[in-house]
Structure 1
Amino acid sequence: MPSRPEPDGKPARGWLRRYWPALALGLVVAIAAWFGARGGDAPSPAVQAAAVAPGPGRPFFGPVAAVPGLPLPDDRARRRQVLVENYQLADHTLCSYRESTKYPALSRPMAQNPDQVYPNKPVDEMNPMRKQGGGTDPKILLQTSQSRVYMAAGESVAFSLRAVDATGNVLPLVVKRALAQGITYGSNRPAPQVPVSFVDDGTGADPVPNDGAFAAVLTPAQTGLSGFHGTIRTEVRYNVGGSDGLVLFDVIYSPELPATWIGPVRDAVENGSLVFYLKLDVRQAGRYIVNGRVDDAHGKPFALATFNDLLGPGPNDVRLTVFGKLMRDQEAALPLLLRDVDGYLLKENADPDRAMLPRLEGQVATSKSYPLTRFSDAEWQSEERSRHLTEFNKDLRLASAALREFDPDAPLPPSECGARPSVR
């Protein structure tokens, strides 16, 4: 029954809410009939649809008929696309993780570490001349080189500089002053300044006399910087064509030797992998990180072998491993050559954060000519890798099941793994 009138004579709101949809529909129909009788345009499809579409406060009186010009969104296609994307993401995560971890982190293809191929190669740069008063002169280019960045106790570093124009012609250069000094911070005492002699006479680090390239050698152990631990900056002031320039060379020096190499290097096949054994006499116990470069029999850079472990005082074995599957996958040409070994004692919460080991430059050892079949073709396994693979396989199974349930007849998208990974 209709609600009773309120005291002010207006109908009750409950009655209006109950019959308003029917009144609105009737009003729209009447308007449509009026337009039709006049021969004018009928209300737009949007107005007609709004009259019967459900909304806040409006009941739904039945299915909404399709209106020409207003296609309903294909919700099924959208939902399937979401499920396909979820499946592809789960497949990519599983396949990429499995591929990237099939070799251990301590034995990686050298192609993945291009910056580690030749660690003792000089650092060469060419930049516009930096003026002493600020700014640069793009018409004068300064070619610089330094033989290394990290230095162990007793090691030397060579610097060189040369000025050229835009076409590569050498410009006359005069070195006015060159000083090396350790960089200190805060309340630390300033490190002493050490003069550095740059020459162009074919002596020392300068290979060719009078070619416009000036070179110098710095050996901190033979100077007042012998006990300095940290960054040593060499500041060179020079003049080219009447313009004064400035160039800086930085090296990180470690005056202490935490350990020294002793004894010969040997190799062996262990657990399907090739292992190089190096002997290290440890003076300071701690975590040591050692890198060795491995070339194949043709001299092609093949692998980066790394040691990362805690060592106690006294003689210790440093194991540099070339993983068996890596050798099998890339069909390594044996024997393998170990070269350019360097390392350091890691110092946590300290600056500098390392004490350098004496580097072993050039060829260090050559393995025996083992047949390739001696090495394992199995992927690397660990508790962490197994745990991650289990979780990623679970995600893929769930995504696959959801897609199959929604669209049982459609095939699954292709897998990034090549052969489809197990999703059971």
Structure 2
Amino acid sequence: MTPNSPAPAPVSRPRRLGWVFLVMALAVGGLGWWSWSREAGEEEAPSEPPVLAEGQNREAGEAPPKSGLVGRGAALERRSSPGTEDMRVSVLSPEQRERLERRELWTARLERAKQTLESYVSATRYPPQSRSIREHPDQVVLAEPERTRPLSREHADVQLRLKQDRVFVVSDEAVHFFVSCEDSQRAPRPCQVLSASAHEAEHVQGAGGVPAVPVAFTDDGAAGDALAGDGIFTGRFQPSKQGFPLYSGTLRVDVRVRSDKAEGMAFLDILYTPSPPATFTGRVREALADGSLLLYLGIHVRKAGRYVVAGRIDNESGEPFAHVSFNEELKEGVQEVKLTVFGKLVLDEAPTFPLQLRDVEGFLLKESGDPDRELMTTMRGYVHTTKEYPATSFSPDEWQSEERSRNRNEFIRDVEEAQRQLDATLGEEKRP
């Protein structure tokens, strides 16, 4: 029953009637039923198809059912009774049921094709190398992993908090590790690093060729430790000076930790490159071209190949705005890589100028092997501040490319095909 349907009248208990009145009531009822059946049969034309749902008659262009119980009454009953869909389908002929299924199928496919086209066009309005920072929440800052894990299976109530100030280490750079203990409510617990050692990660092919070396963890406020006696133990590891001057790949630091009488193990990983394949010169120049702002970074390439370079763009007040990148082949020698701040992205996001480029990192992508890259030394912090530009300097046009056009045309054809099939199905329903 629909919310607007009138409530059924209450049924009173029948009074005791005499046999005469009962027979008379039955006779009158039978006569009324015979009369109604005869009128309904005369109203309904022999060639009239079974009555369909109101929506189906409207969409297919069929004439609405004639007045009377077969038309208005049956439609009202179907709208206001449970199982309406089953009742509607049950009165269809096999051909009508097949048409209904085809219409529902192509209606759904058309809607899905339109959504796919719209989503693709929206997602590709900016080039892959110039995107809103909201699309890269993990790239807002340089990687400084932090995680917790149980001290051991037997002491799951004690949590280890593990953190490091960088993952990628190049040449003479050093990494700092931080270890502390806490309970499930993050309240500090007694903690002590019993031992720690650095070695080649077990998953690296041929691991074990370089012997493990000890790594000291202290809580004395020195060697990178922020505050003495705060329960956070700090370890400093410099691969080039601590046993791995020529190693390239993943290094793992194992730590054994005690909290009261409980003990457990954990590890922290870094990716190390002893000699960078290229270096940033520190020189940055800017230019406007085709309605976008281009930042050219100087780079000295020692090993030719495909390089990936990425940076972050902040607005005047330091709020993250965009993630920009470069991914192309470079030859040996001093040259430039181009980072594009796309014009439409600037107009859509409306950052306040001047913009600031920061935390630029890069690597040489290797075709095979583990690791899959050789790291460049990261330029940390702000490395360039742009000039101020009016909004009229930037183009509102969406990004275009051969690949985008090809994919967009494919999605348009999907929409057109679904529409054609739906129109054909509706045309069949209109035919008698």
Partner residue in 1 for 2:292? 273
Question: Across the two proteins, how many residue pairs are aligned to each other?
Answer: 342
Q: Does 1:124 align with 2:142?
A: no
Return the TM-score normalized by structure 1.
Answer: 0.76
Deviations for 1:276-326, whole angstroms, at most 9, x for unmatched residues?
Answer: 110000000000000100111232211110000000000111111111111
2:314 to 273, 278, 295: 295
> TM-score scaled by structure 2?
0.74
Aligned counterparts of 1:105 and 1:95: Cα–Cα separation in 2: 18
Matched to 1:125, the amino acid is: R
Shift in Å at residue 263 of structure 1?
Answer: 4.4
The equivalent residue for 2:171 is 153
Mapped contact 2:151–2:263 kept (Cα < 8 A)? no
**CA deviation profile, 1:101-128 (whole Å, cap 9, x unmatched):** 11111111111110111114x3222222
Residues 116 and 188 (structure 1), Cα distance of their counterparts in 2 relative to 1, 3 Å cut:
closer
Q: Secondary structure at the match of 1:220?
A: coil
- 2: CA distance, partners of 1:188 / 1:66: 77
User: d(CA) in 2 for partners of 1:223 and 1:331?
Assistant: 48
Rate the CA distance shift 1:212–1:384 in 2: closer, same or farther, 3 A: same
Q: Give the distance between the partners of 1:402 and 1:203, measured in 2 at CA.
A: 74
CA deviations on 1:389-416 (whole Å, 9 max, x unpaired) are 22222222232233344447x9xxxxxx
| Cα displacement (A) at 1:90 | 1.9
For the aligned residue pairs, the C-alpha RMSD in angstroms reads: 2.4
CA distance in 1, matches of 2:305, 2:106: 50
1:71 alignment partner, one of 80, 91, 100: 91
Partner AA of 2:196 in structure 1:
A
Q: Counterpart in 1 of 2:182?
A: 164
Instruction: Assess, with a 3 A threshold, how the Cα gap between structure 1 residues 94 and 169 changes in structure 2: closer, same or farther.
Output: closer
For residue 344 of structure 1, give the secondary structure of its aligned residue in structure 2.
strand
The letter for the 1-side match of 2:377 is: P
Contact 1:175-1:238 at 8 Å conserved across structures: yes
Q: Which of 347, 370, 379 is the matching residue for 2:389?
A: 370
Amino acid of the structure 1 residue aligned with 2:300: D
Distance 2:219 2:414 in 1: 66
User: 1:206-261 deviations in whole A, cap 9, x for unaligned?
Assistant: 11101111101101111111111111111111222122221111111111210111
Q: Give the secondary-structure state (helix, strand or coil) at the position aligned to 2:250.
A: strand
Contact 1:278 1:319 in 2 (8 A): yes
Q: List structure 1 runs of 4+ shifted beyond 4 angstroms.
A: 65-70, 184-189
User: Could you say if the C-alpha distance between residues 165 and 390 of structure 1 is closer, same or farther in structure 2, counting changes exceeding 3 Å?
Assistant: closer
Q: Within 5 Å, which residues of 2 pair with 1:240-251?
A: 240-251=259-270
- Specify the alignment match of 1:215 in structure 2: 234
Q: Is the 8 A contact 2:129 2:324 kept in 1?
A: yes
Pair 1:113-2:133 in alignment: no
Amino acid across the alignment from 1:175 = V
Range with bigger deviation, 333-342 or 184-193: 184-193
* Matched AA of 1:292: G
In structure 2, how many angstroms separate the alpha carbons of the residues matched to 1:201 and 1:146?
18
More helix per residue: 1 or 2? 2
Corresponding residue for 1:5? none
Task: Tell me how far apart the structure 1 counterparts of residues 194 and 300 of structure 2 sit (CA, whole Å).
Answer: 45
1:41 alignment counterpart: none
Does the 8 Å CA contact 1:129/1:141 hold for their aligned counterparts? yes
Give 5+ residue unaligned stretches, structure 2: 1-46, 52-69, 71-86
Question: Structure 1 residue 357 and structure 2 residue 376: aligned?
Answer: yes
Letter in 1 for 2:290: N
Question: Where do 5+ consecutive residues of structure 1 fail to align?
Answer: 1-62, 411-424
- Aligned to 1:170, the other structure's residue is in SS state coil
Seen in structure 2, the aligned counterparts of structure 1 residues 195 and 189 have a Cα distance that, compared at 3 Å, is closer
CA distance in structure 1 between the aligned counterparts of 2:167 and 2:282, rounded to whole angstroms: 27
1:86 aligns with 2:109: yes
Q: How many percent identity over aligned positions?
A: 39
Say whether the 8 Å CA contact 1:192–1:225 is kept in structure 2: no
DSSP-derived class of the 1:221 partner: coil
